[in-house]
Amino acid sequence: MQNLLDDNLIIETTLTGNRLGRKSLLIELNSKAGYCINVAIENLYTKIMFNDLCGQKIHSLSIDIPFSSEIIENIFTEIKKCTTKLNLTHTKIIGISLSTRAYMENELDWNNVKENLSTFFNTNVFIHSHGHFAVLGENSYSDKSNNIVFIDNTYDISMGAVIDDRLLLGSNNKACNLANTIINKNGNAILLKELIALHVIMDKINGKTKEALTIKEFLALFNKYDSYSENLINEFIEYTNIAINNVINFYNPEIIVINCPIVAESDEIFIRLKNSLKENKGVLYPSMLKENAPLYGGAIYCIINFLKVKHFIPAKCYYRDIKFV
């Protein structure tokens, strides 16, 4: 205890007790003792979030630059700007998390990226897939469970799982590659990501309409009973259903969280997807943290490794009411 006080990781707060007995000393984690930097690299943008030692957000920003080999240089630049603006010293950085998509694996030398970040900021750097960090974020800040799966389809498909209270990473950190699930469509073996990844769906509707539609515009067509849009949504529900049922059979999770703009923007589609699971429909929930899930998850990962603990409950959780049918 004294060591933690000496290192300023915990601070003394209010004294409690009555006049006759010995007063109890209350302590709490010192949120200002350190901070972590969490980065989520997406196809068209990169998000950066700074979190304190209690897991609360200090600052966040988005770099609206598509993924390329130059993105790491842009990340370096923005982090240095923010640390100066927020008056954050490098000596207080407890870790940096970096979440990436599966298709980015061979686009950069990630070991070199990790080494450069670690050397410059003198801290541990953790690089994992989007799904691995996202399931930690969703589980820690919203739906706490010992068995939870996070499925994301905001561009490509990714997945992360906490089973029996352990994050599944696999022998080479490539566990839970749901996108490469093989689907039998009309006698042909097709990867799940080739059927219902969001960018595939949008490419199909844009090819049909000859326009660059937004998600809301696509769903507006669906709501007007456009037959082509309806077929795309029906396929999305059918093959997402197969994927979720496979996940249930493999991992038997208590909760499955799905993050997809099609689901988030349409209660009707979410209800149809949920009901298609029949007796398993009770496990499916929409994401609370959405695109911020891997950032908060990265913060949890950094804090746990810094404090050398197995679990960490953030100082502020983000529960909110959701209607389920």
* DSSP string across 41-84: E-SS-EEEEEEETTS-EEEEEEE----STTHHHHHHHHHHHHHH
* Weakest-pLDDT range from 184-188, 190-194, 300-304: 184-188
- Give domain limits for the chain: 1-33, 34-134+291-307, 143-287
CATH code, 34-134+291-307? 3.30.420.40
Decide: 148 and 134 in contact? Cβ < 8 Å.
Answer: no
* Weakest-pLDDT range from 90-99, 284-293, 313-322: 313-322
pTM of the predicted model, to two decimals? 0.89
Task: Kindly report, residue by residue over 45-99, the tens digit of the pLDDT.
Answer: 999 999 999 999 999 999 998 999 889 999 999 999 999 998 888 889 999 999 9
Decide: 38 and 52 in contact? Cβ < 8 Å.
Answer: no
Domains 34-134+291-307 and 143-287 share a fold: yes
Decide: 56 and 22 in contact? Cβ < 8 Å.
Answer: no
CB-side neighbour CA atoms (13 Å) of 30: 13
Average pLDDT for 127-139: 95
Identify the residue whose tokens are 């897991």.
55
Class (C level, CATH) for 143-287? alpha beta
Decide: 53 and 84 in contact? Cβ < 8 Å.
Answer: no
Task: Kindly report, residue by residue over 203-241, the tens digit of the pLDDT.
Answer: 999 999 999 999 999 999 999 999 999 999 999 999 999
Task: Kindly report, residue by residue over 3-44, the tens digit of the pLDDT.
Answer: 666 667 777 776 555 555 566 667 777 888 899 999 999 999
Other beta carbons less than 10 A from residue 149's beta carbon: 31
Burial class (CB in 10 A: 0-12, 13-18, 19+), 87: exposed
Sheet hosting strand 35-41, strand order edge to edge: 57-63, 46-52, 35-41, 93-100, 125-129
